Structure 1
Amino acid sequence: MMKHIYVAFFSFLLLSCGSTKVDQSTVLNPTNPKGVKGSVLPASKDAQLESVKSNVSVKALSVDIEAIMTFLTSDELQGRDTGSEGIEKAADFIQNVFKNNNVLPYFATYRDTLENYSDGVAYNVVGFLPGTDSKLKNEFVVIGAHYDHIGLISGDGDDTIANGANDNASGTTAVLEFAKYFGEHKNNKRSVIFALFTAEEKGLVGSKHLAKKLKEQSISLYTMLNFEMVGVPMVEKDHSLYLTGYELSNLAEISNGYANKNLVGFLPKAKEFNLFRRSDNAPFHDEFNVPSQTYSSFDFTNFGEYHKVGDEASLIDYGFMAKIVSESVPMLEGIINAPIKEVKYN
């Protein structure tokens, strides 16, 4: 995740003193009537029914998310190191989710193989939903996350598998849930590319490869929206996610408008450590110079197992992840379907 932040994070600490199966058609857009918190009862029977439906849908989504996370972080996948047998199994799983939910391969197959990768065969997994609007379908939104991790490392005792739950099975799972939602509803006016990147941990190699390849195709990219480490909530914040490069664009404002809440905010540490340059959004910014940013909830205080064998599925807050996914869906729908390009760099 966000390449090479571990040393900076450690310095900051010194200075500051993953299988239950549910229906694939789970509703991803529950509502919270009037943003009410706590145990306040809805004002009417209709509102109460909607509240019950919302709670049921988030609970079902939470179960579905846990099932995906449990597989992606299982010891069978050996930490999903790029080029390994374990990441091959992860890629098989991802492309099956795409195939089973009406998401097409963007290229001839779902696998976008990296040329001249020196340590085994490596590939992004890339799905595609063509836009439904006759004009807007020629514009593209990329929704991405990296699905690789660091594999086998020296750990604690007999455990040597860095399972990579928060980093970044969480972002991968969020993108898969978005793909399932749009694959079912087919309500995307712009064309959407769902990109699961390999070799992020090797220096953003997979996203650099895909961004360059798409640029060579001269696609009209509107924006690239990346999801990274969204498995646990931030501490004492009034927003659920922060946006890397927050001050560079109006994406946070646009996101919150469509989410109809303060979903996305600013994290000073993200700017201090220049996280905008340290995840898979950066290559798309470099190639296309369009708003390309990362949503995350890793706030430097809420998760101490970064790049350790302790980054396990048992530490993930699945209720939080379900909430993030469900609240991000209207945000993504709004951005994808807006009649004009609202998201702009400042």
Structure 2
Amino acid sequence: MVGVLPGKSKADEYVVFSAHYDHLGLVESGEDKVYNGANDDASGTTAVIALAKYFKENKLNERTIVFVVFTAEEVGGYGSKEFSKSIDASKVVAMFNIEMIGTESKWGKNSAYITGFDKSSFGTILQQNLAQSNFKFYPDPYPAENLFYRSDNATLAALGVPAHTISTSKMDIEPNYHKLSDEVSTLDLDNMSEIIKAIAISSNSIINGVSTPTRVKR
């Protein structure tokens, strides 16, 4: 599913906000058979919808914003791969992929991390835009997990786009990761709201055409 908010002075330059809405499906037996995927990744899908509403009301985007939620991330990222074929990667200025923001990060509230932080200036720009706030973005603390290459940002990043994933998931101790217990009752919705607000604020200079992240080296 894709929504587009045309830009003004730089309409041929795109900023993408994305997430995925699939999960692992069903188990064959038991009282609870559904992998709801509340954190992974209904939380990210919620963020994309909220950001679309915000930017539509804001009406200050100089660059075109593309809001997209993918299917088939959990079985190979087929949705994002198909999307990458349909968009001119040279025109994509940045991609904010949002995945698993429903729990507190290892640093607690008002914080999140960015995968592939050292691969472009994307993360540094976001940090600068939040300098006057209480929210902090950190580099991915789980490099051994190769998270930069495991989400829907990977295909566009491989084409040079500064496409990064924003997350709070504690990959070493997240108790409900890929489990039936990933239910909405396990999420910190207030903290999630603050993360979405921080993403909106941190993207401001990119949306408005003031900042342009460096490209990811192929």
Global fold match (TM > 0.5): yes
Distance 2:199 2:148 in 1: 20
Cα deviation, residue 304, structure 1:
1.0
Aligned partner of residue 196 in structure 1, secondary structure: strand
Aligned to 1:139, the other structure's residue is in SS state strand
Q: Is the 8 A contact 2:114 2:167 kept in 1?
A: yes
Q: How does 1:257-296 map to 2 (within 5 A)?
A: 257-260=128-131, 261=133, 263-269=136-142, 271-286=143-158, 288-296=159-167
Q: 2:45 aligns with which of 168, 172, 190?
A: 172
Aligned-pair CA distance for 1:263: 2.0
Deviation for aligned residue 1:306: 1.3
**SS of equivalent residue, structure 1 residue 151:** coil
- The 5 Å alignment of 1:307-346 reads 307-345=178-216
Equivalent residues of 2:106, 2:168 under 8 A apart: no
Percent identity, aligned pairs only, is 39
Deviation (angstroms), 1:301: 4.4
Correspondent of 1:235 among 72, 81, 106: 106
Amino acid at match of 1:256: Q
Q: Which structure has the higher relative contact order (CA within 8 Å, separation 6+)?
A: 2
Query: Which residue of the partner structure matches residue 193 of structure 1?
Result: 66
Per-residue CA deviations over 1:222-272 (Å, capped at 9, x if unaligned) read 111100000011134586111111121222210011122452102331x11
Distance 1:302 1:231, change over 3 A: farther
Q: Give unmatched runs, 5+ long, in structure 1.
A: 1-124
The residue that corresponds to 1:46 in the other structure is: none
Which protein has the bigger strand share? Answer: 2
| In 2, Cα distance between equivalents of 1:202 and 1:194 | 22
Between structures 1 and 2, the one with greater helix share: 1
The runs of 5 or more residues in structure 2 that have no matched partner are none
State the distance in 2 between where 1:313 and 1:154 align.
22
**Alpha-carbon distance in structure 1 between the residues aligned to 2:108 and 2:188:** 16
Q: Relative to structure 1, is the Cα distance of residues 254 and 162 closer, same or farther in structure 2, using a 3 angstrom cutoff?
A: same
Aligned to 2:25: 151
Provide the C-alpha distance between the structure 2 equivalents of 1:340 and 1:302, rounded to a whole number of angstroms: 35
Equivalent residues in 2 for 1:65-214, closer than 5 Å: 125-133=1-9, 136-154=10-28, 157-214=30-87
Provide the TM-score with structure 1 as the length reference: 0.59
Cα distance, 1:343 vs structure 2: 4.2
